[in-house]
Amino acid sequence: MGFLSSSLRVRARFRRCKRAWADHIENTRRAVLEAAGQCPRRRRAAVLGAGLLHDIPLAELSSLFEEVILVDIVHPWLSRVKANRFRNVSQISADITGVMEELYRVAPLTGQVLPISHPALFTDDPRLDLTVSVNLLSQLPDVPGEYLHGLRSEPTVAAFQKQLVEAHLDYLARLPGHTALITDIGVRRMIHDEPTLEEWDPLHGAQLPPAERTWQWRLAPSPEIRRGVDLYTTVAAYTDWKKALGGWLRQR
């Protein structure tokens, strides 16, 4: 479906844009450690969207928790090498949406309804004290959206993408232990020397509470996409997702 090629593109962009990404990576690592510091117990930690580990303070998490589990649908070999340095760190290759295999099967079939995501990984784990979703939320709809292009109508694809995002937010609220979320919430494309600003919602209309902290990620500085064009995202951090969500829902 393109998950491996997507991971390889991220790795290549990181190499080209390492300096531009430095502040974002440092902010992300700091937020992860702030979330870890809020855990009264530190038995098992799960990192969702561990990927290439650029933005994961792996050494610190390994020293804080008895066990650290890195979860992603693809673990490139470089991340495997890094993880293997720590005896209490393991990796799980998993589809956190829980529906990609079924989507791959039914999407080309006329009349078949697309699956509904209801993630269950770790929901019955009594030792799970921390789960952090790291720069993953806005990525969940991307590859399946590309896969569905031409197979289903645009409204159907858009509704499916939004449901993936909302299901992940609900999943973080249902997990045992402390949960945290770091995600981009807005994307804008700026063209040099022109009053042109394009903006779009990477979460496909899903609503989030006010963030504890936000920052700008210079995702693709010129000439990464093309000369004279910069791509930025706004990133939001919730070091206590359940608290942020609960307070927001009470005020609505």
Q: What class has domain 3-251?
A: alpha beta
What is the chain's length? 252
Q: What is the pLDDT of residues 11-65, one digit of tens each?
A: 776 677 678 889 999 999 999 999 999 999 999 999 999 988 999 999 999 999 9
The sign of the CA dihedral 97, 51, 106, 124 is negative
Q: Check residue 14 and give its pLDDT.
A: 66
Mean per-residue pLDDT of the chain:
92
Distance in angstroms (rounded) separating the CA atoms of residues 70 and 77: 13
CB 144 within 8 A of CB 115: no
Exposure on the CB side of residue 88, measured as CA atoms within 13 A: 16
What is the 8-class DSSP label of residue 126? Answer: T
Report the pLDDT value the prediction gives residue 243, as an integer from 0 to 100: 96
Q: What is the CA radius of gyration of the chain?
A: 18
- 94/194: higher pLDDT: 94
pLDDT over 90 percentage in the chain = 74
pLDDT in tens, 164-213: 999 999 999 999 999 999 999 999 888 877 766 788 899 999 999 999 99
Supply the pTM of this predicted model.
0.93
Tens of pLDDT, residues 114-146: 999 999 999 999 999 999 999 999 999 999 999
Examine the pLDDT at 221 and tell me if it is beyond 80.
no
Q: What is the pLDDT of residue 216?
A: 94
